[in-house]
Amino acid sequence: MKRKHAIVAICYLMLGVVATLSAGAQATPRIKFEKYKLPNGLEVILHEDHSTPIVAVDTWYHVGSGDEQVGRTGFAHLFEHIMFMGSQNVPVGAFDQMLEAAGADNNGSTTEDRTNYYETLPSNALALALWLDADRMGFLLPTMDLAKVNLQRDVVKNERRQRVDNQPYGRADETILAVLYPKSHPYSWPVIGSMTDLSAASLADVQNFFRTYYAPNNATLTIAGDFDPATVKKMVAQYFGSIPRGPEVKRRLTVPAVTIPRDTFLVLEDKVQLPRVFYTWHSVKGFSPDDAALDILAQVVANDKNSRLYKKLVYELQTAQNVRAFQDGSRLDGKFQIDVTPKPGQKVADIDRVVQAEIANVINNGITQRELQRAQNLYKASFLNRLASVLGKAEVLNSYNYFVGNPDYVQQDAARYDRVTAADVQRVARTYLGRPKIVLTVVPEGKKEMMLTASGGGR
């Protein structure tokens, strides 16, 4: 496990650390990288790390479910599946067979904002990954047919069944999104899409989507690991350089305004033993000024045994089975959510009173320095953990490159969390959790009367 010049540690001062324990002494390392662009617009980011003889190839296409058209929800993700079905020089099935025979792990994923494809493989096989990825970037359509689309349509419908329809509380998310955001908002539908829309996807849709979004000028290729940069640059130029530039992609920069004039109460019946209440507030997009403070607020409110709601509801009163909270800051917009599951026989209205009181307590009285420090230290450790693998580092570079326009941002990102003050957390709690919210109660089938309402409800 030799180390060459993979990571350069840079220290920075931590302000306001209470030094009763040694926490907080660890600086977040910087990732050394080189970034350049091919004439056809493909962005390339290289990061050398020779500690293990493996390399990660991680391609981000700057398209996600937020770019879908009405009536075609789920298409970006369905398309992601189709990208593994072979291309002009790669027969159906050969993509995964060749990679497995070379000892690779590979996969892809789709979010509202972007789609990624990655391979982690022994360093001798880097050329194979580049050849395969170039072929599907440049030459997907010549061998595309409806049979490929139909097959992956069935697979994706089963993915939806497994993650959503056959999953307790699985439909909560799409139910909330449809009410939280206006219909024209790119986050108002789920990434997985609806069964109806998945059924409607056509071969022409695949062709149009490819021509619109899957061009080198709408992608970033990040390679991290054990390679020789001069050799890799030649290979990248050879495999990707002749893929023609596509039309300019107009990336959406704004979203429709979100207005929730008053608390909105929803109910969803599901095959569950216990109800679950989801509170959702419209908040802010990722990396915007209040985003980090909202992340810290989520830690303080739930997620840990000492957090406000967990301690009160699960630990002390023991009226709830579980409670969670998170800030979800995506590229264009964000939401803050708390969900709580009552123990058998407990009324959601009683739980709700505690939730409201604890939120009011944070808004009115703020949080302690210790609460702040715990949340900050968890974030600090998580930054370090993301850098443990070459794929993790490739994802970090791609993510910052896309979301803030600078791959070299891990230290600035970590610093965002160090700068948050207790007063910031109180302020964002007041600002965002003081707003009207969407309240969804998922109830056992036939038990709609269990739902939480403005007047309490929840018999």
Partner 1 sequence: MKLQTTHVLGCAAMLLASQSIAAQGTFDRSKPPELGPPPRVALPPIITRQLPNGLKLLIVEQHELPLADFVLVVGSGSTADPTGKPGIANLTSQMLREGTTTRKSLEIADQIAFLGINLSPNSSWESSTLSLHTPTAQLDSALALFADVALHPSFPANEFDRIKKTRLTELLQLRDQGPAIANLAFPAIVYGSSHPYGLPSIGTEASVQSLTPADLQAYYQTNFKPNNSTLIIVGDVNPAQIEQKINSLFGSWQRGDVQPLNYGEPAKAAATTIYLIDKPGAAQSSFRIGSVGVPRSTKDYFALTVMNTILGGSFTSRLNQNLRENRGYTYGAGSRFDMRRQAGPFLASAEIVTAKSDSALIEFMKELNGIRQTVPPAELSRAKRYLQLQLPGNFETTQEIAAALVPVALYGLPLDYYNNYVQNIENVNQADVARVAQQYINPGSLAVVIVGDRKTIEQGLKAVNVGPISVRDITGQPIQ
> Using the rule CB under 8 A, which residue among 31, 63, 85, 177 binds partner 1?
85
Residue 40, interface with partner 1 (CB under 8 A)? no
Q: How far is the CB of 125 from partner 1 (least distance, A)?
A: 5
Under 8 Å between Cβ of 87 and 140? yes
Question: In this structure, are residues 246 and 216 in contact, taking their beta carbons and an 8 Å threshold?
Answer: yes
Q: Residue 333 — left, alpha, or beta (φ > 0 → left; ψ -120 to 50 → alpha)?
A: beta
d(CA 199, CA 69): 14
Task: Name the residue nearer to partner 1 (CB basis): 116 or 432.
Answer: 116
| Residues 12-31, mask of contacts with partner 1 (x by CB under 8 A) | ---------xxx-xx--x--
* Residue 384 is a binding residue for partner 1 (CB under 8 A): yes
- Count CB neighbours of 425 within 10 A: 26
Q: How many CB atoms lie within 10 A of CB 244?
A: 10
Question: Which CB, 118 or 281, lies closer to partner 1?
Answer: 118
Report the alpha-carbon distance of residue 318 to residue 314 in Å, rounded.
Answer: 4
Burial class (CB in 10 A: 0-12, 13-18, 19+), 318: exposed
Q: Are 226 and 55 in contact (CB under 8 A)?
A: yes
Instruction: Report the candidate in 110, 79, 117 with the shortest Cα–Cα distance to residue 330.
Output: 110
CB of 145 to partner 1, least distance (A): 11
369 touching partner 1, by CB under 8 A: no
Q: Please give the single-letter amino acid code of residue 329.
A: G
Tokens 């002009």: give the residue.
88
Interaction of residue 389 with partner 1, rule CB under 8 A:
yes
Q: How far is the CB of 324 from partner 1 (least distance, A)?
A: 15
Per CB under 8 A, 212 contacts partner 1: no
284 or 293: whose CB is closer to partner 1?
293
CB burial of 71-99 (b: ≥16 within 10 Å; e: otherwise) equals ebbbbbbbbbbbbbbbbeebeeeebeebb
- Name the segment binding partner 1 (CB under 8 A); options: 181-189, 215-223, 282-290, 301-309: 301-309
66 binds partner 1 per the rule CB under 8 A: no
Of 88 and 431, CB closest to partner 1: 88
Locate tokens 């909560």: which residue? Answer: 172
What is the token pair recorded at 291?
């985003």
Regarding 185 and contact with partner 1 (CB under 8 A), the answer is no
Question: Does 308 participate in binding partner 1 (rule CB under 8 A)?
Answer: no
Per CB under 8 A, 1 contacts partner 1 = yes
Q: Residue from 298, 387, 396, 440 that binds partner 1 (CB under 8 A)?
A: 387
Complete edge-to-edge strand list for the sheet that includes strand 276-282: 264-270, 438-444, 276-282, 334-342, 320-329
Q: Does 399 bind partner 1 (CB under 8 A)?
A: no
- Name which position in 52, 212, 264, 421 contacts partner 1 (CB under 8 A): 52
Give me the least distance between CB of 219 and partner 1, in Å please: 17
Residue selected from 88, 361, 411, 421 as contacting partner 1 according to rule CB under 8 A: 88
242 touching partner 1, by CB under 8 A: yes
Position among 173, 174, 197, 226 found at the interface with partner 1 (CB under 8 A): 226
The verdict on 194 binding partner 1 (CB under 8 A) reads: no
Residue 232 contacts residue 240 (beta carbons within 8 Å): no
Question: How far is the C-alpha of 66 from the C-alpha of 283, rounded, in Å?
Answer: 18
Nearest-approach distance from CB 73 to partner 1, in angstroms: 13
Q: Rounded to an integer, what distance in angstroms lies between the CA atom of residue 239 and that of residue 124?
A: 16
CA 421/CA 300 separation, integer angstroms: 13
Note whether 110 binds partner 1 by CB under 8 A: yes
Interacting residues with partner 1 between 414 and 453 (CB under 8 A): none
* Residues 195, 200: Cα–Cα separation, whole Å: 9
Among 30, 35, 89, 360, binds partner 1 (CB under 8 A): 89
How many residues belong to the site for partner 1 (CB under 8 A)? 113
Report the residue count for the chain: 459
3-state class of 269 per DSSP? strand
Asked if residue 234 binds partner 1 (CB under 8 A), the reply is: no
Which residues face 110 on adjacent strands?
Answer: 115
Scanning residues 137 to 176, which ones bind partner 1 (CB under 8 A)? 138-139, 142-143, 148, 150-159, 161-162, 165-168
Residues between 315 and 344 with contacts to partner 1, criterion CB under 8 A: 315, 318, 321, 343-344
Q: Tell me if 311 contacts partner 1 by CB under 8 A.
A: yes
Q: Is the dihedral of CA 99, 102, 103, 104 positive or negative?
A: negative
Return the H-helix or E-strand segment holding 354.
helix 348-365
Q: Which of 47, 335, 380, 437 binds partner 1 (CB under 8 A)?
A: 380
Alpha carbon distance, N-terminus to C-terminus of the chain: 61
Q: Which stretch binds partner 1 (CB under 8 A): 125-133, 256-264, 352-360, 423-431?
A: 125-133
293 binds partner 1 (CB under 8 A): no
Closest to partner 1 by CB, 307 vs 432, is 307
Selected binder of partner 1 within 44, 57, 128, 302 (CB under 8 A) = 128
